[in-house]
Amino acid sequence: MQTEAKEWPPVLAQLLGEEAATYRELRGSSLTLRKAIVASNLVAVRTEVEAHQALLSQLRAQQQAALRVCREGGLLAPEEPYRLSRLRQAVPDRDHAPVGVALENAVAAARDAARELAHNRQLIARLSAWASREIRLLLEPLTNATRYGAAQDGETRSPGAALVDRRG
């Protein structure tokens, strides 16, 4: 995408609008994925993960295109990475109002998507820890806390727990 120095504002505004839309789709995908995880619907989880990965690829492509436009427009240095927060500092609001509005929409959508992605990571970490504890408890050998039969030797004890729950 070749842009002239004068052409970058509308092109960048369009790319930021597309990026904001992708972030909104990612947020929706995260919510759907979380519902599928909670419902233990493995088919829906697999489908949503594939859709999520496609959205992330689409987002990366949009960011690369926006990075090229920003570098051609002189907003970012050649070695500087593409970040919305950095772009927010580089775009003069009074000169390029449509870009500023599109940028604020993209930042808000990115923030919302990041929040939902963080919730999903926390849910998956908790489920993973829970499953790990449950599997460990199931795989521990059962201990016989009381002696039965000939091994009892006349001792009277109160029976202890056969399986120790270490969940705390």
Size (the chain), residues: 168
Residue 164 to residue 142: CA distance in whole angstroms:
9
Q: What is the pLDDT of residues 121-160, one digit of tens each?
A: 999 999 899 988 888 888 876 665 555 555 555 555 555 5
Residues 46 and 135: beta-carbon distance below 8 Å? no
More confident residue, 65 or 1: 65
Mean predicted confidence (pLDDT) in 69-87: 88
Amino acid at 33: L
Task: For residue 82, give the DSSP letter.
Answer: P
CATH no., domain 8-138: 1.20.58
Nearest 5°: the CA angle 106, 112, 130 is: 145
What pLDDT was estimated at residue 21?
97
Residue 36: C-alpha distances to residues 31, 48, 89, 120, 130 (Å): 9, 8, 39, 11, 18
In 3D space, the residue among 149, 168, 151, 147 whose CA is nearest the CA of residue 159 turns out to be 147
Instruction: State residue 137's pLDDT score.
Output: 83
Ranges of each domain in the chain: 8-138
Confidence of residue 78 (pLDDT cuts 50, 70, 90): confident
* Pick from 145, 161, 146, 12: nearest CA to 87: 12
pLDDT in tens, 20-75: 999 999 999 999 999 999 898 999 999 999 999 999 999 999 999 999 998 888 88
